[in-house]
Chain A
Amino acid sequence: MHSGRIALVTGATQGIGAAIAARLASEGAIVGVNGPVRDARMDVVVTAVDGFPAVADVSDPDAVAAMVGEIERTRGPVDILVCNAAYMTMAPLIEHDDDDWWKIIDTNLAGTVYLIQAVLAGMRDRGGGNIVIMSSEWGVIGWPNATAYSASKAGLIALTKSVGRELAPEGITVNAIAPGVIDTPQLQVDADDAGTSLEQMHEQYRRSIPLGRIGKPEEIAAAVSLLARADMGAFVGQTIQINGGATRCRT
């Protein structure tokens, strides 16, 4: 399905990102596994997906440009960009440290802009490309003590709509996915905020979801695979919500 295409997946060393890397690789893509540092965790994913390391802190525009530049020089333009890297902490708005609050915005929202800007010239050279942006259920419905995270993820939905409109005429699709509660290490942040254990957090979420369970990273990766296809050009600026029926909202 993605045979021979070059994919860059940010935040791919764990959780949803690692599942996306595995899914795209299993369908033939050559996957760049991004994380902020080269470490053992990254090497494990790189080996597992037979891909290549792609190191950059996505909140640093120069580092992003350098990473994409190196991919283009050594392998060619990026065909599939999956903007999945995210940073999250939770705190009541007036208690949330200023620098930490902005780090969430700068990583999740600004970082995605930097990535799109970095791959754009290469996609234009190729005559097309597919960009998938990871938003969140909290970007749709909001969440207490998550003002920065929700703002960043809602911003990504609007960014997807705008850049989707802007780039569709050039054969570059931009779409988003808004996962609900998925079984990833990030849930520990939720549990800490709620002052409860990870197990209790799972149980609490499970009860609130109509389908009666939390989601799996592979279930998000399946939607990425659909939106990353080169023959799905009718998908423009859309956000797919995958949350076990938790919201049923229009994005």
Chain B
Amino acid sequence: MSPVALVTGASSGIGAAVATALDGYDVVALDLNEPAPFGVDVSDAVAVTDAIRLSPGPIDVVVSAAGHYESIPIADITVEQLNRMLRVHLGGLRNVVRAVLPSMIERRTGAIVAVTSELAVGGGDADAHYAAAKGAIIGFVRSLSAEVAEYGIRINAVAPGPTDTPLLAADSPWRAAEYLKTLPARRLARPAEVAAAVRYLVEAQFCTGEVLSPNSGAVI
């Protein structure tokens, strides 16, 4: 039987590229846009747990890629927008990890990769709530890596720069020529590059608590 990998946000963008890159794995794809029973909102811990029960086997690998992006000046961020951001990004990671960790601890193996963002490291204009949620993921990853290392479980993060996915609207300032000119690589990151970094971390048996950032040189 193939090892099982759970991927959230697997229907599009980076999550979809990760699902493709994990050949050799039996991928359980969670996404708001998946059909039932895997069409779950990762901020809903009960729904996540219920979906994971339907996995074909114990989960060896978790990749948390579900997320959304919105740019809002700090004064205009509503309580709802802030809570949604925190509960999807940080909460989504926490929910899937909470659901799979007991089994990983019991089997003394497991690899978790969280998709965060270059904005978590460098910050951005009108990105306060997104950066807060993505930065929280890094704190969570580094802390949990120390907590579960003794069980042979590793948790790492990938912090991509602006990536050519549907999350970036056609009129996004990050697609504008003036912005791309400022990047040392002069282009957006590609989903396949981010997915290759995820796959590397899934297999990197001596790497834990680390953040890889394919960001075209936006943050060095």
Contact = CB atoms under 8 A, between A and B. Distances in A.
Contacts of A168: 183-186, 216-217
Contacts of B183: 168
A240 interface: yes
Contact of A210 (B146, B189, B196, B204): B146
A165 B185 CA distance: 8
Tell me if B's interface is mostly helix, strand, loop or mixed. loop
A234 B203 contact: no
A140 B185 CA distance: 25
Interface stretch (B73-81, B87-95, B98-106, B206-214): B206-214
Contacts of A237: 184, 217, 220
B217 A165 contact: yes
A225 to B, nearest CB: 9
B72 interface: no
B140 to A, nearest CB: 12
Contacts of B196: 226, 229, 232
Contact of A219 (B204, B211, B212, B220): B204
Interface stretch (B2-10, B24-32, B148-156): B148-156
Contacts of A226: 196-197, 200
A244 to B, nearest CB: 5
Nearest to A165: B184
B8 to A, nearest CB: 22
Interface string A209-251: 0111101100100110010010111111110111111011010
A240 B210 contact: yes
- Interface size on B, as a range, is 35 or more
Nearest to A220: B206
Given A211-B152, A245-B146, A248-B209, A234 B216 contact: yes
B84 interface: no
B43 interface: no
Contacts of B161: 234
Nearest to B215: A234
B200 to A, nearest CB: 5
A215 B193 contact: no
Contacts of B193: 231-235
B93 to A, nearest CB: 17
Most buried by A among B150, B152, B203, B212: B212
10 contacts: A168-B186, A168-B217, A180-B206, A211-B206, A212-B152, A219-B204, A226-B196, A234-B214, A234-B215, A245-B154
Given A211-B206, A222-B203, 18 more contacts: A164-B220, A165-B217, A168-B216, A211-B152, A211-B208, A222-B200, A229-B196, A232-B196, A234-B160, A234-B193, A234-B214, A236-B215, A236-B220, A237-B217, A240-B210, A244-B208, A245-B146, A248-B209
Interface of B: 121, 142, 145-146, 149-150, 152, 154, 160-161, 183-187, 189-190, 192-194, 196-197, 200, 203-217, 220
